[in-house]
Homo-oligomer: A and B are copies of this chain.
C-alpha cells in the first residue's frame, strides 16, 4: 500500500465511521485492553540508597521509641499494645525498635479483594496496580453548574462513570459526600450504591465503629458470611490524626475491619509544616512510624488480616498557609515511601491525581499528572484518588473525572513498558521498507497498528483546521460532553434480586433504628 493509498483508506475510514463507527472501534479496543487490574511491566523507581533508607527507618524507630504515639479513647487498642510489650503511659504508647516490624510479619504481602463480579476482583500487592476514584470531597463540580455540595445522585453518577470506564479497576468509597443524606445513614446508601451500580470491588465506611460494621455486614449479604470471614471483599480507609495520634474513631473502625478479616488502608495525612515537619525526610519518617503502628494494630486485632500501607503526604504554601497538592516534594517523596513499604513487605497505597486547581484546567492536569506518575513510579498497588480530585480534595469534578480516567488508560500503556522481542524489534519491517520509504502500509505495520498506540478519548489530535472547524473546544468542554454521554449510555450490571432485597431490607431496618443525625 502506498502512502497515498494508506492516506485515502485512513480518510475513508474516518468519513465512514463518524461517531458510531468510532465508538464501535473503541468498544472493541476496550474489550481487548480492559483488565481487572494492571500487572506492571516496568521497574519501580528506587530513588534512595540502602543507607539513606536505613536512616529514615531509624528515625521512625526513634520517633516510636522516644516520642511515642497516642492512642486516645480506645482501651482495647491499649490492651493490645500492652500485651504486645509496648510501654504505656496514659494514652501514650512507646515501642521498642523493631517491635512493630516484628508484629507486621503476619500481614500478607498481597491479597485478593473480591468483587461481586469475579472477573473484576483485584489483586492488591506485588507488581499489581489498581486505580480507584477520588475519595471524600464534600463538593462536586462541573463546568455547567460550578461547585455545589455533593448529593446521593452525584455519588451514584460517579459510581456509574467509574463502572463505565475500562481504565479504573475499583469503585472506590466515599466518592463524594452525599450531603443530602443524614450523616449517620450515609454509609448505608453509599455501600448500597457501590453494590447496585457497580460490579467492582469497593470501600466501606470508617466514620464510626458501627458504620464500619454495617458496611461489612452489607458485604456479608452480598458475598455470604463465611466467604467474608475467609476473604477480603471490602476496604476501609483509616486516617492517622497526625502528628502521632490515633483517635478512637479510627482505631475502632480499623479494628472492626481487621476483626472481620477485611483490609484497612492505613493513611497518615501530613501537610508538611502543619501535621509534620516541613522537610521531606522527616515527614516520611513520621508517616512511616504512624503507618507501621496502625498496620501493626490490625495484626494484633487479627493476625493475618490484610492491611495496606498508606501515605498521603502533601505540602503547604508557607506564604498563604494553604495546603498544596500535586507539588514536586510529595511526588518525589512518594518514591521513598514506596521503597519503605516494599522493605516492610506490605501492599502500598500512595499518591494519586492531586491538585489544588479549582477547575479542570492546565493547572489541574500539570499537578495531577506529576502526582499520578509518582504513584505509578513508586510502586503503589492501590491508587486512591486516581480520578476526579480537584481543589485539594474539596471538589469531585465531573470533567476531571473523565480526564483522569482517560489518563489512567494511558498509564496502562505506560506500565506495559517497552517489550523487546522479534516482533517489536521489527527487523523484517526494515528489510521490507529500506531507507527513505515509509512504514504506513508495510506488513509489520498492518500486523501491529491496531494495538500499537494508546488512543485517548479526551485528547484532540486532529489538524488545527479540523479542530477549529469543529468549534475549537478545549479539553474541559470535550470532557463535559464525554461524561454526559457516558452517563446517558450507562447500563447497570445485573444484580441478584435476592441480594438486592436483602440489602434494601437491612438498610430499611438500620435507618428505622436511628433518628437522623447531621453530624
Contact = CB atoms under 8 A, between A and B. Distances in A.
Given A425-B285, A429-B282, A410 B332 contact: no
A109 interface: no
A32 interface: no
Contacts of A459: 324, 356-357, 363, 366-367
Contacts of A363: 365, 458-460, 474-475, 478
Interface of A: 6-7, 10-11, 13-14, 22, 25, 42-43, 45-48, 52, 55-56, 59, 62-63, 66-70, 92, 147, 241, 243-245, 272-286, 315-324, 327-329, 331-333, 335-336, 356-370, 373, 377, 391-392, 394-395, 400, 403, 407, 410-411, 413-414, 417-421, 423-427, 429-431, 433-440, 444-445, 448-450, 452-456, 458-464, 467-468, 472, 474-476, 478-479
Contacts of A42: 47, 332
A119 to B, nearest CB: 25
B43 A46 contact: yes
B413 A455 contact: no
A367 B411 CA distance: 12
Contacts of A368: 366
B434 A244 contact: yes
A204 to B, nearest CB: 27
B280 A333 contact: no
Given A413-B328, A418-B332, A425 B55 contact: yes
A22 to B, nearest CB: 8
A273 B425 contact: no
Contacts of A321: 6-7, 10-11
Contacts of A440: 273-274
Nearest to A356: B461
Given A317-B455, A324-B453, A403-B362, A427 B245 contact: no
A319 to B, nearest CB: 6
B362 A275 contact: no
Contacts of A435: 67-70, 92, 243-245
Contacts of A391: 464
Contacts of A430: 63, 67, 243-244, 277, 282, 286
B420 A277 contact: no
A280 B418 contact: yes
Contact of A281 (B48, B63, B424, B450): B424
Contact of A444 (B277, B366, B455): B277
A43 B70 CA distance: 37
A439 B276 contact: yes
Contacts of A280: 418-419, 424
Contacts of A147: 464
Contact of A329 (B328, B438, B453, B461): B453
A425 B362 contact: no
Given A318-B449, A332-B42, A363-B460, A420 B243 contact: no
